[in-house]
Amino acid sequence: MPIDSNFEKSREAVDEEDGVTVWGPVDPPEKLGIHGTHVAVDFDICIADGACLEDCPVDVFSWVDTPDHPESEKKVQPAREDQCIDCMLCVDVCPVDAIDVDPGRAGRV
């Protein structure tokens, strides 16, 4: 199942991690929520293949450790989502549709 593109309406902002908003529910290590707003990554379905990190022309993503998560022990955090140029490469290359980029959400929490 792909990331919920309406997560801002269906989920609540429950935390902030390294300046990135986290949308719940969160119950580590299994449920880690959606990280980011303009560039959002569903940590619960991300398999950390790294294609988004490698293909992003402006280096929006960085690796973070997620020990004991059932999908992968690391994820790609949209750490510099304010640098996103809305090219959608990350969305296109994600094999599990874990990323959503919405220019209309830029700068909002």
The reply, when asked if residue 94 is annotated as ligand binding, is yes
The reply, when asked if residue 28 is annotated as ligand binding, is no
Q: What is the DSSP letter of 78?
A: -
Distance CA 1, CA 53 (A): 21
The reply, when asked if residue 84 is annotated as ligand binding, is yes
The reply, when asked if residue 101 is annotated as ligand binding, is no
Note the maximum CA span of the chain.
34
The reply, when asked if residue 56 is annotated as ligand binding, is yes
The residues near 63 (Cβ < 8 Å, ≥ 6 apart) are 48, 53, 74, 75, 76, 77
For 46, the 3-state DSSP assignment is: coil
The reply, when asked if residue 69 is annotated as ligand binding, is no
Three-state secondary structure readout of 2-16: CCCCCHHHHCCEEEE
The reply, when asked if residue 87 is annotated as ligand binding, is yes
The reply, when asked if residue 90 is annotated as ligand binding, is yes
Annotated binding-site members for [4Fe-4S] cluster: 56, 84, 87, 90
Annotated binding-site members for Zn(2+): 35
Annotated binding-site members: 35, 46, 52, 56, 84, 87, 90, 94
Annotated binding-site members for [3Fe-4S] cluster: 46, 52, 94
